[in-house]
Amino acid sequence: MKWIKIDSDSYGTIFFSWIVCAVLIFLSATFIRNLWITIPVMVVLLTFMVFITWFFRVPNREAPEAENDRLVTSVADGKVVIVKKVFEPEFLQTECIQISVYMDFFDVHCNFWPINGKVVYYKYHPGRYILAFHPKSSDLNEHSSSCLENAYGKVFFKQIAGTFARRIVCYSEPGNMENRGDQCGVIKCGSRIDLYLPLEAEIRVKVGDKVRAVESVIALLPDKK
C-alpha cells in the first residue's frame, strides 16, 4: 500500500483544524440531544478533517524527460487564466510572456520548480488578500518572487496568495541549484502562480487549459545555439 505524502509545512494547519473539529464534535455530541442534527454535523466535521489532510497532499509526479534544460513545466496544478505579453518590472525589467495558473480548492497546492537552474533572485512581499484571479492580485496580494536561470535563459515566477490563503512557503535560496519537478513550496488555499518567460519562448499552453504541476509542459526556452 502506498501512503499519501503530506506537506510537512502544513502539519500545523492540519493539526489546528483537527483540534477545532474534534472540539466541535465533542460539543455537538454533549449538548445537542437530537441525533438528526448531531449525526449530520459530525459527518460534515469528519469529512472536513479528511479533506484538509488530503488538500495538503504532495503528489508523486514524474517530470517529462528532456535532452536539455529548455523544458519549462507547470509550477502548480490548475487552470491557465492568462497568456499575454507584459513588462515585468520587479527583476527581469523587460518585456516577456506572462502565463498565470489559478488554483481552486480542489487542486494540489504544493508548488514545484519549473526548470533546472540556479536561484538568482528571491523576495517576499507582504500584501492584501483580494481574489487570486483578479488581475491586480499579482502586485497587491501577499506573494513571493523567485527567479531561476540556466544556459537558455531566466524563468521568473510569483506564488500569489488568494482571499483565503494567509501563508506562502517558498524554498528559494539564491545560489542554490534546483531540479525541475522538485517541490519549491506551498500556498495555502485558493491562490495563483504567475510565470514570466522570454518573448522568444515556445509557448505550449493557452487560456482555459488545465495543467498539472511537474507533468504539463508550459513552454520551451529559446534555443541559443
Q: Rg of the chain over CA atoms, in angstroms?
A: 20
> How many angstroms separate the Cα of 203 from the Cα of each of 37, 134, 145?
53, 23, 21
Gap between the Cα atoms of 52 and 127, Å rounded: 25
The residue type found at 135 is P
Length of the chain equals 225
3-class state of residue 45 by DSSP: helix
Which residue in 214, 123, 120, 134 sits closest to 175, CA to CA? 120
Is residue 191 flagged as an active site residue?
yes
44: CB partners within 8 A, 6+ apart: none
Q: What is the 3-state secondary structure (H, E, C) of 87-153?
A: EECCCCCEEEEEEEEEECCCCCCEEECCCCEEEEEEEEECCECCCCCCCCHHHHECEEEEEEEECCE
The residue from 17, 100, 144, 191 that is catalytic is 191
Annotated catalytic residues are: 191
